């Protein structure tokens, strides 16, 4: 489940040529880590969750309806960043006491 403030990594930056009308707008790059700024719920017209990213803020563009909206990125292009807590590894390096068995 995605949440605002969560870090995600772009896994798909392949935008078909039919969508190249996004000239001049910043787009996510594969392998780059981003922070979710806002989550856009699915609609009837766009049945996928959309994401606004803190590191990419594009100017709003005018739709045919007359509304101005910022370019939203589809969530399937991202996955959560996997993080490992270093404390787990530090604990493994700590010496352990060996108990001697009495005869």
pLDDT digits (tens, 9 = 90+) for 59-84: 998 888 898 989 899 999 999 998 77
User: What pLDDT digit, counting tens, does each position of 27-36 carry?
Assistant: 999 999 999 9
Is the per-residue pLDDT at 21 higher than 70?
Answer: no
Q: How far apart (Å, rounded) are the C-alpha atoms in residues 5 and 38?
A: 8
Its pTM stands at 0.73
Mean pLDDT for all residues in the chain = 86
pLDDT at 19: 58
Q: Tell me the domain boundaries of the chain.
A: 7-93
Q: How far apart (Å, rounded) are the C-alpha atoms in residues 69 and 41?
A: 14
Is the per-residue pLDDT at 18 higher than 60?
Answer: no
Is the per-residue pLDDT at 53 higher than 80?
Answer: yes
Burial label for 8, CB within 10 Å (0-12, 13-18, 19+), is buried
């Amino acid at each position: 489940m995605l949440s605002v403030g969560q870090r995600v990594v772009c896994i798909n930056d392949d935008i078909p040529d039919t969508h190249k009308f996004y000239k001049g707008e910043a787009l996510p790059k594969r392998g780059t880590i981003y922070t979710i700024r806002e989550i856009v719920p699915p609609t009837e017209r766009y049945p996928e969750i959309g994401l606004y990213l803190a590191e990419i803020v594009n100017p709003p563009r005018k739709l045919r309806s007359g509304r101005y909206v910022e370019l939203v990125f589809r969530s399937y292009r991202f996955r959560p960043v996997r993080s490992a807590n270093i404390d787990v590894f530090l604990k493994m390096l700590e010496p352990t006491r060996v108990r001697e068995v009495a005869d």
